[in-house]
Amino acid sequence: MKIAFIGLGNMGLPMAKNLVKAGFSVAGFDLSGAALQALEAAGGKAADSAAEAARDAQVVVSMLPAAAHVKSLYLGGGQGAQSTQGLLAQMAPGALIIDSSTISASAAREVAEAARAKGIDMVDAPVSGGTAAADAGTLTFMVGGDGAQLERARAVLEKMGKNIFHAGDHGAGQTAKVCNNMLLGIIMSGTCEALQLGIANGLDPKILSEIIGKSSGASWVVNSYNPCPGTLENVPSSRAYSGGFATDLMLKDLGLAVEAATDIRASVPLGGLARNLFAMHSAAGNGKLDCGSIFNMFAVAKP
């Protein structure tokens, strides 16, 4: 099976490498030359464009930053001389799209409907687990689409993930993802606030994290993605918040959650507060740092 992988960032690159490791023929495209070289070093093929990567591919996997990028990739855009043709116009009927980007449910449904009109199957399959799970091939996939489409995608998804959930019809995977990431943003903010309070009162953050990790405040953030430097190895906080899940991506996902709530007049006060906190953190120049860097915002000034 030939697979095209579009978007070789912190998550996409290790996902593509795992597909190569599983024996698939993988052609990838990204704007980063270093990412393309890394894919080639792992046994994949670097393409000069998304269209080249997708040529004759039975499956196209995409992992892109936002809905605008996903819609541009598949639907094209622009006007006149600036117009571009999307991949849907070039893909053969019967092909399969797996979009693992985190975008709005409405955008996922729009692309899925356009794909259906071309005789192409599509599932929205955003992920959770972070870069460590992407490396290990143990991601959680939240899939939106019909059952038959999920079964078509399963052979590919299971090489990149450990948990595959059928959330519902098209867009449902995206809804599940924004609910999860809204909670992640809330827990990350609360964890940073609690740890900084302990530090300000003379506690060792590593010991405090161990206590919380075995108590009622335990969470994946505390135990596996601790935002306080020196508490865990091989997490973004141990390498000056490089890599991982960028603050700006967290901000985008929290915005999607608030937008989804607004659409149905739901109340998400904690989600809204978390979004505002990450907006302040991003505005202070921390957008490209891992979201755990918001830990520094909660530092208590010494009298």
Of the candidates 162, 177, 288, 302, the residue annotated as catalytic is: 177
Q: Which of 138, 170, 202 is the last residue of a domain?
A: 170
Q: Which of 129, 153, 170 is the last residue of a domain?
A: 170
159 and 76 belong to one structural domain? yes
In a domain, 110, yes or no: yes
123 and 219 belong to one structural domain? no
pLDDT tens readout for residues 148-161: 999 999 999 999 99
Judged by phi (left if over 0) then psi (alpha if -120 to 50, else beta), residue 188 lies in: alpha
201 and 284 belong to one structural domain? yes
pLDDT tens readout for residues 183-211: 999 999 999 999 999 999 999 999 999 99
Nearest to 96 by CA among 62, 132, 139: 62
84 and 213 belong to one structural domain? no
Q: How many CB atoms lie within 10 A of CB 264?
A: 6
Active site residue 177: yes
12 and 133 belong to one structural domain? yes
In a domain, 86, yes or no: yes
pLDDT tens readout for residues 56-115: 999 999 999 999 999 999 999 765 545 578 999 999 999 999 999 999 999 999 999 999
The pLDDT assigned to 81 comes to 47
In a domain, 303, yes or no: no
Helix extents (H) in 76-217: 105-117, 130-136, 147-157, 172-200, 205-213
Residue 66: domain span:
2-170
Alpha carbon distance 195, 191 (integer Å)? 6
259 and 202 belong to one structural domain? yes
147 and 48 belong to one structural domain? yes
In a domain, 207, yes or no: yes
Q: What are 272's two structure tokens?
A: 């809204």
pLDDT tens readout for residues 236-276: 999 999 988 999 999 999 999 999 999 999 999 999 999 99
In a domain, 280, yes or no: yes
In a domain, 70, yes or no: yes
In a domain, 285, yes or no: yes
242 and 151 belong to one structural domain? no
Q: How does DSSP classify residue 59?
A: E
Strand segments, DSSP code E, in 43-124 are: 45-46, 59-62, 76-77, 84-85, 96-99, 121-124
Count the domains in the chain: 2
Q: How does DSSP classify residue 202?
A: T
Mean pLDDT of the chain: 95
100 and 22 belong to one structural domain? yes
Give the CATH number of the domain where residue 75 resides.
3.40.50.720
